[in-house]
Chain A
Amino acid sequence: MKALVLPASGAPGFAAEVSRLAGTDVQACYACGKCSAGCPVSASMDYQPHQIIRLVQLDQKDEVLSASAFWLCASCVTCSVRCPREVKLAQVMDALREISRRSGVAAGQPRIAAFYGSFLDLVRSGGRLHELGMTAMYKLRSRDLFGDIDLGVKLMLRGKLKLIPGRIKGRHHVAGIFRRVREHEAGEGGKR
């Protein structure tokens, strides 16, 4: 866990951008730390959840986006439920991952970013997730080639990994959704 040193300046507008995308007001946080106390993965985070919120409040975009904390967030939503100030922290963590991806900065947890990317690529091409295909793509991207091979064999033997991806008729519609969302994001990026 890092000590939080309050800086002099930041990236003006970052806190507002995060609040808008997350649909919650990060400035409402008074840093009680209840989110961090109940977070199941906080022990593995560099900054604690309430520290991430404080950095966001202070527009510390670079420091926040280089952190691993929001990538490790397991989206369990315990923090949001317990926050006495009704800050939706889980949605803030989502917003930070989205801003990180769209800014093109290196992810603080490259494997997790590779997992999400592999998952979505498979959905874009087939309309549904093909678990085996997703796992193969993830392993190539993350270079985690040999982890869980034994587990994969066990699942295969139990018929739990479909070999052939099932493709739905609407896969072109699903691919179109991806295309339109990405086009919209590219347009927004140009306006910034």
Chain B
Amino acid sequence: MRVYSYYPGCSLEGTAKEYDYSLRALAPLLGMQLVEIHDWSCCGSSAAHATSHRLALALAARNLNLAADMPGGARDILVPCAMCYNRLKVTSAELAADSGLRSAVESDLGDKWRGAAITAKALPEVLLGDIGVDAVAQAVVQPLEGLRVASYYGCLLVRPPEYTGFDDPESPKSMDELVRATGATPVDWPHKVECCGGGLSITNRELVAGLVADILGAARDAGADVIVTACPMCQANLDTRQGLAGKTRGTDFGLPVLYITQLLGLACGLSAASLSFQSHLVSVAPLLEKVRQLGRARQAAGGEGC
């Protein structure tokens, strides 16, 4: 078992609860033990970095300090939310590079900076780099052969690369490799890292609907059955704005948007209930039916699989 400090972030307590449920269910199957950081607080998200540099650093630094204080001494934090991951990475890097900022943040925290040895890691980074794609493939009991999957990375997992660094900022591959490990086919498509405007989803609906429609349209043109993501803002935005996006283009996209953990969980034999598919706005039922049909066809053909 690899032990990680776990920083869920605020979204995973609410609109992204499927991500939390599916990750907690999947983790033991992949040899991961998650120990939630005691009394963690909000990373500050866009609202902090967009309005106060020092506030953004201090809010994130509080959580890196708490991770350093964890008994057991896991040095790596698994951060499933792309936004939280990005904020923790930026904060670690800026505080490591600038002693003036470090003392400013210590004064804002009213506390010493103790997070220098702590590393925040994104979920695809952990699954590929630590667990390994072979171990993921070995945990698969229900191969998803025949399913076409568009991996959508968005912004915060891959940009800026000097802080994130585990994947290419223009043509990332990490989630595609995980998709391949399930037996599904990752589609080649042009919108992997196009911004969906998630941060403006509440304030500028029409603008965002256009961005969402572009992304959904590109995934559909590539023949995708489903989009997978590792970002709560992207998932919420592509799911909740899909109706409005369809209206602007006179179409019904009908593209379910899953967390990568939900797709992996499905392939690893976790039940639909434990993966929380019922809480999506765009119905996942047709996708689950397709997975069942593909499984039956494979069995009828006498192929391997369970």
Contacts and interface: CB of A to CB of B under 8 A. Distances in A.
A115 B53 contact: no
A166 B40 CA distance: 12
Contacts of B278: 158
A54 B254 CA distance: 43
A75 B155 contact: yes
A169 B38 CA distance: 10
B203 A97 contact: no
Contact of A41 (B17, B46, B51, B200): B200
Interface in A140-192: 142, 144, 147-148, 151, 154-155, 158-162, 166, 168-171, 173-174, 176-178, 180-181, 184-185
Give the bracket for the number of chain A residues in contact with chain B. Answer: 35 or more
Given A74-B195, A129-B45, A174-B62, A101 B51 contact: yes
B292 to A, nearest CB: 23
B62 A173 contact: yes
A170 B41 CA distance: 8
Contacts of A32: none
Interface in B249-283: 278-281
Contacts of B55: 120, 177-178, 181
Give the bracket for the number of chain B residues in contact with chain A. Answer: 35 or more
B194 interface: yes
A78 B195 contact: yes
Interface stretch (B24-32, B102-110, B118-126): B102-110
B41 A116 contact: no
Given A76-B155, A160-B17, A181-B54, A174 B59 contact: yes
19 contacts: A41-B200, A44-B207, A72-B204, A81-B161, A81-B170, A97-B51, A116-B46, A119-B45, A123-B44, A129-B42, A154-B240, A155-B240, A161-B15, A173-B110, A174-B62, A177-B108, A178-B55, A180-B58, A185-B54
